[in-house]
Chains A and B, each alone.
Chain A
Amino acid sequence: MSLLRVENVSKHFGSLIAVDNISMMVEPGELRAVIGPNGAGKTTFFNMISGFLTQTSGNIIFDGEDISKLLPARRVWRGIARTFQITEVFPELSVSENLRIAVEVASGYRTRIWQTADADDEVKARVVDLLQMGGLSEDADRLVGELSHGDQRATEIMMALALKPRLLLLDEPTAGMGDQETYDVTQLIRRLHRDEKLTIVLIEHDMRVVFHLADRIMVLAEGKMLAEGTPKDIAANDAVQAAYLGKAAA
């Protein structure tokens, strides 16, 4: 059974049709990339899955359950975590504090006003794991706001991961990064996919990243689905070539 099933979803902003009747099925363990030119509706599509926006029509089924009308926090509780195009972290807290909050919320401690030493140790151990997995151990005590763009993004991804999601949504994880940072973040996502067997849907502009990572690719243009398939199919698709990829990826 598909983990995520998006059925005929549309989003209208007044007379503008940002997303037009799109369907998508994501299997457990899959890494799906959503690509398309600026204004194709990728982020709007994403925002409807995570509950940041509500669709005008259509349904979103997660693990067999219709989540179309749930508030964002409730979708998180069911196992959908996301990152944003513009990194959303807690800039004036340290990296480990950022992760600690995520771990505590994920552990159901968000209303606890005191903590047993055992529970506290468990939280701290998990934070240490996440720091290591994200390559952030050396920066644990630094304020996130002072980190490089790439490390801030890594912090955000690890915060999402702290929630132990069953589906991870990444909105342009390498946006605005240099080559080295792009490489580091790509490797991180690859590890999460390969080693943690995480189901991931990501939006990405960098075609090297997309073709390197994705199991399947969905191409959007002007709110409509243009093509869907394996990276090979997409690279060979004439319509996609014409509309979007150009010669660079050929």
Chain B
Amino acid sequence: MVNLNARTGDAIVWLLLLTAPFWLPLTGGYVELGTEILVYALAAMALNFLLGYTGVLSFGHAAYFGLGAYGTAVIMKYVYESTPVAMAFGVMLGTAAAAIIGPLIVRLRGVYFAMCTIAFGQVFYFIAFQWRDFTGGDDGLSAWHREPLHFGFATLDILNNSKALYFFTLTVFAVAVGIMAFLLRSPFGRTLLAIRENERRARFLGIPVDRHIWMSWVVSCAFVSLAGVMYALLNDFVDPRALRWDQSGNFVIMAVLGGMRSFWGPLLGAAIFIVLRDYVSSHTENWMSFVGLIFVVVVMFFPRGLLGMVRRRLTS
């Protein structure tokens, strides 16, 4: 019964995502808005691999998001104009940074861990901000653009065709999300749940907790880097705000708003966040206050997020 419900939920999500470019314009949206939601949803779901399924809160994921984005832009602008090459480099850059920084912080817990992730994140922000010659400083890296994808037998024109870009992003999103779901259903994934549920018990079952948190951190940061790569491709641009600490906060808000104990929660959170920003910001500059207000209400009354609340209604 539970399984059936979960499968129905999955089917609905994929159906909505597959048809979004066709119904989004009818609701007053546009295709790029859908692509942006996918990008942020991937970032929030990647964060939630660590937050919701390992029980570790990072406030510095924007660093790896930004490294993915800058890695992509740098390759495109300075080295080689190939979308796949730039993507691969962006993901590798973000993942490598996370793998190296990880051992320095995985022994910390709670607020100390969160503070250190912010600190490391800000290091990358200031590098991007100060190194004008290479990163463009505050102005960011522009004057480059994503390249169409050539498959030999066919070409996907993600440069000029917004639907093509959407479906390419959706494919990347699906693969990434699929891998995360697969990992969470494995014995390794269950050790992460164990750590989230009760670290002391996990340790005394013989799980080397710090090492497993490091692994979860690297997986999470790898996929947030991938989200950063897609962000750069979507905008043909990247600037230091992509890796500033408030960006990290946005990912956390999306995950918590949608529901960090639900696999699709962060997707819902990202959708609400991006749509609110889009609609409210055309009326007032203070759109963030609305997001903040909704966030506070959700945290106070639905601590499991919006999707968590819906699921509770359905099952009780």
Decide whether A and B are members of one complex. yes
A binding-site residues for B, Cβ under 8 Å: 50, 52, 71-73, 76-77, 81-82, 84, 88-93, 97, 100-102, 104-106, 109-115, 156, 159, 163
* Whole-angstrom distance between the Cβ of B191 and the nearest chain A Cβ: 5
Q: Tell me if B233 counts as interface (CB < 8 A to partner A).
A: no
8 Å CB contact of B187 from A71, A91, A104: A104
Some 30 contacts from A to B, beta carbons below 8 A apart, are A52-B204, A71-B208, A73-B207, A73-B209, A76-B205, A81-B204, A82-B204, A84-B200, A88-B204, A89-B201, A90-B193, A90-B194, A92-B197, A101-B191, A101-B193, A101-B194, A104-B190, A105-B191, A105-B207, A106-B205, A110-B187, A111-B187, A112-B187, A113-B183, A113-B189, A115-B187, A156-B201, A159-B201, A159-B205, A163-B206
What are the interface flags for B175-191 relative to A under an 8 Å C-beta threshold, 1 for contact and 0 otherwise? 00000001100111111
In the bound assembly, the distance between CA atoms of A101 and B198 in angstroms comes to: 12
B binding-site residues for A, Cβ under 8 Å: 182-183, 186-191, 193-194, 197-198, 200-201, 203-209, 212, 215
CB neighbours (8 Å) of A159 from chain B are: 201, 205
8 Å CB contact of A72 from B182, B183, B189, B204: B204
In the bound assembly, the distance between CA atoms of A91 and B198 in angstroms comes to: 8
B188 and A113 within 8 A (CB): yes
In the bound assembly, the distance between CA atoms of A52 and B190 in angstroms comes to: 23
In the bound assembly, the distance between CA atoms of A163 and B212 in angstroms comes to: 19
In the bound assembly, the distance between CA atoms of A73 and B209 in angstroms comes to: 9
* Whole-angstrom distance between the Cβ of B41 and the nearest chain A Cβ: 23
Given contacts A101-B193, A101-B194, A105-B206, contact A90 B187 (CB under 8 A): no
In the bound assembly, the distance between CA atoms of A115 and B183 in angstroms comes to: 11
CB neighbours (8 Å) of A52 from chain B are: 204
In the bound assembly, the distance between CA atoms of A52 and B208 in angstroms comes to: 14
CB neighbours (8 Å) of A163 from chain B are: 205-206
Taking each of B187, B191, B198, which has the highest tally of chain A beta carbons within 10 Å of its own beta carbon? B187
Residue of A nearest to B201 (CB): A88
* Whole-angstrom distance between the Cβ of A109 and the nearest chain B Cβ: 4
In the bound assembly, the distance between CA atoms of A84 and B205 in angstroms comes to: 12
CB neighbours (8 Å) of A84 from chain B are: 200
CB neighbours (8 Å) of A82 from chain B are: 204
B204 and A50 within 8 A (CB): yes
In the bound assembly, the distance between CA atoms of A120 and B182 in angstroms comes to: 15
CB neighbours (8 Å) of B193 from chain A are: 90, 93, 97, 101
B186 and A113 within 8 A (CB): yes
Other contacts beyond A72-B203, A73-B206, A106-B205: 5, CB < 8 A: A88-B200, A91-B198, A101-B193, A101-B205, A163-B206
Residue of A nearest to B191 (CB): A110
In the bound assembly, the distance between CA atoms of A42 and B203 in angstroms comes to: 21
B182 and A91 within 8 A (CB): no
* Whole-angstrom distance between the Cβ of B289 and the nearest chain A Cβ: 34
Given contacts A76-B206, A77-B206, A105-B206, contact A115 B186 (CB under 8 A): yes
